[in-house]
Structure 1
Amino acid sequence: MKRFALTSLSLALLGAAGAAQAQTSVTLYGVIDTGIAYVSHANVAGDHLFGMVNGTLSGPRWGLKGQEDLGGGLKALFQLESGFDPGTGRLNQGGREFGRQAFVGLSGNQWGTVTLGRQYDPSVDMVQGLTADNYWGAAFATPGDVDNYDNSLRVSNAVKYVSPVFSGFQFEGIYGFSNLAGATGQGMTWGGAATYANGPFSIAASYLSVNNPSAGRAPLTTTNTGWNSPSSDSLFNSVINGGYSTAHAIDIARGAGQYVFGPFTVGASYSFAQYKNDGNSLFRQQEKFNVGNGYVNFQLTPATLLGLGYTYTHGSGDTSATYHQASIGADYSLSKRTDVYAVGAYQHASGTQRVNNADGVSTSTTGATASISDFGFDSGRSHQELVLIGLRHKF
């Protein structure tokens, strides 16, 4: 009798454990993406570079994500994601342990999802997936990532809402707190996005407004660490917009569309970015960047994807720089998790641009120089070429 009772208890406990396992899940995941690149005019002296470049198609990362079924269609969820440099082993995103994402939230089938923490802005969630950056990464991105095309911005201390899908339509909004006593608007971030999908056709639009949290905004280098607090990780990593690291605020509007037919995917996007000045800024007139991008992908075989892209970027207001960038890519899947790829890009610059001076407290205008995407290789010349062969593994 005792043996029967113990056996029954053991089976009951095992059944309860199995039910809990089914209701709760935690997943370990990641991406390692690295390659060898040749870059012409990789510095202001005009020297060429042959070396390792990481994260071209996908930013290297590892993370944990999970959810718990709370019943009645309600779930608790979380995600922790850390970015790193495979070449050195160092943390990215300013050395943050979970600099890519760190949030917790609740999700309901009827009302959507609310999350709190460090997160992507809505344009990344809804617009980026329709752009060339979604397939080819940095080599196809906007020069200097002036419009956050390549996700240089993330939003800390943020509350985000994502709606359910209504007949192909979905929207989301985000608000990032400054956490500054007596200065709520200083360092505040807010934005929203909406998308619509119907069969092979998809379209999306977004708006993002980011305010500088730093009262004194001396640039010191092309990367202003003051912007790092609420959102920016590498937004000023290029000479193309480094001269605007003392901006009071940045507003970015984006739109994109994509159509799939047979083996072809065709997409186009437009963005308008404003770098706004105030009395503390080291430039005296707003800089506006208009960016147009188009791409064509061709699925040559189930394992082989080919792509062509073109990006036009024009600055106006404070300066008058124009950048033409053509990109090409090929990707071959060795398995569902591993692929090899080759990408190339050519950029030509003309007009004038604003740069930070060596004294760290002033800026000046110079002839525009090429700097492909947001790799950070400032050429000191009017043109630049990049060729890269890489390997990516997902787990």
Structure 2
Amino acid sequence: MKKRLSLLAIPAGLVLSAGAQAQSSVTLYGIVDAGIAYVHNAQSSNGQNQSTLVKFASGNISGSRWGLKGTEDLGGGLAAIFQLENGFNLGTGALGQGSREFGRKAVVGLTGNAWGTVTLGRQYDPIVDLVQGLTEDNYFGGVFGTPGDLDNYDNSLRVSNSVKYVSPIFGGFQVEALYGLGGVAGSTGSGRTWSLGAAYANGPLSLGAGYFYANGGNTLTNGLRTWTSSSDSLFNTVINSGFASANSIQIAKVGAQYVIGAATIGAAYSNTQYGSDAFSAFHETARFNNGSVFFNYQFTPAVRAGVGYNYTSLTGPSSAHYNQANLGADYAVSKRTDLYALFGYQKASGKTLNSSGATVNADASIGDFGVNSGSNSQDVAVVGIRHKF
């Protein structure tokens, strides 16, 4: 690895020779995360329940990835920056994020000490940047997430063709704004995305809030919307797949975290709305309200454990409720390698919609684990290893 990095650094050295005033650096980094998962109540491919599923699971706490990031000093406190980040499934080697080569992130931009950072490309929205880090997802991953990740708790979506501004931190405050271009001739609003966020940190207290809006565009296949937009879609499990024909996603989210010695407590609330139009299979705005709390404790420098609870309710075209409880433990073998164990239980009740717009019983699907249960309850247990480089 050291030899490869030395070879990678050669071009940077040549650039330095060409421009005596310039300084540049390129960093190769990544995470590989995988484990074995046990799922009680998992739906088989033919739609029938199977009581047990044992599977290889990639990216349980952190999505497996590799990336390159770099900076060039332009002088006067100004620098050019770039970042390319690939996501993949460690079990199969397949590309993630819709088989994109750099689906996790691909940006280039400028950053200045006084005015902040502007980046262009495929990137995270301000809610992910400023609120997600205040939730238990930051410590134990998507198993703790909102059912089906319906509010992007575990950053299931990114925004392509976007421009983002990130301010410097002033007195503990920071703000962000993002705009994703829809790229539809004659219809500026079709497929566009925009988002705003703000955060404040002072000692043990951290607060964050943000708003996200995405238009799904008007591309249809067999009469159903394909959600061609600057934003990825969120309709990945039975929790919200009945609303995949939505013409818009709106998410408002707030989060708070407080550190007391070795203990960390936090809470978050989100309101997610899926809007409809003439092409939607449903005809009343679907509203998901979610509240989550967590507590974790750093028992030793190497051992952390946490517990979380998540409640979600659906109103609008139908009424459903989801109660979810989670446990997690992590042991750091070294600064770069850790072992972990995760557990989640979810109970669903009430009615929701399927992809045809018909009313059906609500099924469980824990966090962002992505396995439909075919039942009103589900248990997930995962043990695994994560290595950072």
Matched, 1:316 2:315: yes
Alignment-derived partner of residue 362 in structure 2: 368
Alignment equivalent of 1:52, drawn from 50, 56, 64: 56
What's the CA shift string for 1:321-373, capped at 9, x where partnerless?
100000000000011111010000000000001112xxxxx331111111111
Matched, 1:283 2:277: no
Residue 15 (structure 1) shift? 12
Alignment of 1:124-143 (within 5 A): 124-143=128-147
User: Could you tell me whether the CA contact under 8 Å between 1:218 and 1:246 is conserved in 2?
Assistant: no
Residue 227 (structure 1) shift? 2.6
User: Could you tell me whether the CA contact under 8 Å between 1:104 and 1:116 is conserved in 2?
Assistant: yes
User: Could you tell me whether the CA contact under 8 Å between 1:94 and 1:228 is conserved in 2?
Assistant: no
Alignment-derived partner of residue 338 in structure 2: 339
Residue type of the partner of 1:49? L
- The alignment's TM-score, normalised by the length of structure 2, stands at 0.92
**Larger deviation: 320-329 or 45-54?**
45-54
User: Could you tell me whether the CA contact under 8 Å between 1:217 and 1:281 is conserved in 2?
Assistant: no
- 3-state DSSP of counterpart to 1:243: helix
User: Could you tell me whether the CA contact under 8 Å between 1:195 and 1:204 is conserved in 2?
Assistant: yes
CA distance in 2, matches of 1:153, 1:218: 24
Query: What's the RMSD between the two structures over aligned residues?
Result: 1.9
Alignment-derived partner of residue 7 in structure 1: none
Alignment-derived partner of residue 303 in structure 2: 304
- 3-state DSSP of counterpart to 1:95: coil
Identity over aligned pairs, percent: 56
Residue 219 (structure 1) shift? 8.2
Alignment equivalent of 1:211, drawn from 212, 215, 231: 215
Alignment-derived partner of residue 149 in structure 2: 145
CA distance in 1, matches of 2:315, 2:212: 20
Residue 216 (structure 1) shift? 2.1
User: Could you tell me whether the CA contact under 8 Å between 2:192 and 2:231 is conserved in 1?
Assistant: no
Larger Rg: 1
Residue 214 (structure 1) shift? 3.4
CA distance in 2, matches of 1:85, 1:227: 24
- Displaced runs of 4+ in structure 1, greater than 3 A? 13-22, 217-220
Residue type of the partner of 1:215? T
Alignment-derived partner of residue 121 in structure 2: 117
Alignment-derived partner of residue 29 in structure 1: 29
Residues 1:38 and 1:167: Cα distance change in structure 2 (over 3 Å): same
CA distance in 2, matches of 1:73, 1:259: 33
- 3-state DSSP of counterpart to 2:365: coil
CA distance in 1, matches of 2:350, 2:80: 52
Matched, 1:393 2:382: no
Alignment equivalent of 2:372, drawn from 367, 378, 388: 378
Alignment equivalent of 1:89, drawn from 88, 93, 106: 93
Residue 375 (structure 1) shift? 2.1
Residue 23 (structure 1) shift? 1.5
Alignment of 1:4-23 (within 5 A): 17=17, 23=23
What's the CA shift string for 1:213-254, capped at 9, x where partnerless?
23326587xxx7x33642216x21100100111001010000
CA distance in 2, matches of 1:41, 1:292: 24
Residue 298 (structure 1) shift? 0.3
Residue 39 (structure 1) shift? 0.2
User: Could you tell me whether the CA contact under 8 Å between 1:39 and 1:50 is conserved in 2?
Assistant: yes
Alignment equivalent of 2:192, drawn from 181, 188, 194: 188
Residue 19 (structure 1) shift? 8.6
CA distance in 1, matches of 2:310, 2:155: 17
Residue 138 (structure 1) shift? 1.1
Alignment-derived partner of residue 263 in structure 2: 264
Alignment-derived partner of residue 355 in structure 1: 354
CA distance in 2, matches of 1:314, 1:232: 23
What's the CA shift string for 1:284-328, capped at 9, x where partnerless?
111000000000010011000000000000000111110000000
What's the CA shift string for 1:163-214, capped at 9, x where partnerless?
0111000000000001111111010000110000000000000000000023
Structure 2 regions of 5+ residues with no counterpart? 1-12
CA distance in 2, matches of 1:355, 1:179: 30
